[in-house]
Amino acid sequence: MTDFEKGLLVGVLIGEGHFGGDGKQPYVTVRMHSRNEALFRWLLEMVPGSRLYGPYYHGGRDYCQWMARGPALKSLVSLLDETPLFILSPPTYQRYIKMKEGYRL
């Protein structure tokens, strides 16, 4: 992954990412309008093993959801641990740390 690709990935996660889990395993998700299909496809390429779900049509909304968990999440955590999230986006950093602590990553 180039420095530009890393920066874009981190930017997408800061702006649109959700850090959480289902009680059993942690995950990172990005949910956006399905017109962003090219960006979703790029996320799949950048994070091997990640998944794309949708498009969904619900409540007047048209969206897709990208998800990284398992081995895909581990590679993403490695990248995020190298990033100064605590400086770039303290709220994102807090959500990220909460996910890591809650799931002992």
Backbone angles phi, psi at 82, to 5 degrees: -85, -10
Domain ranges of the chain: 3-99
Residue with tokens 């081995």: 71
**Predicted pLDDT of residue 29:** 98
Q: How much is the mean pLDDT over the chain?
A: 96
Token pair recorded at residue 68: 């990284």
Backbone angles phi, psi at 96, to 5 degrees: -65, -50
20-60 residue pLDDT tens: 999 999 999 999 999 999 999 999 999 999 999 999 998 89
First to last CA, the chain: 23
Span of 18-22, 57-61, 78-82, 90-94 with lowest mean pLDDT: 57-61
What CATH fold (topology level) applies to the domain 3-99? Endonuclease I-creI (3.10.28)
**Predicted pLDDT of residue 37:** 93
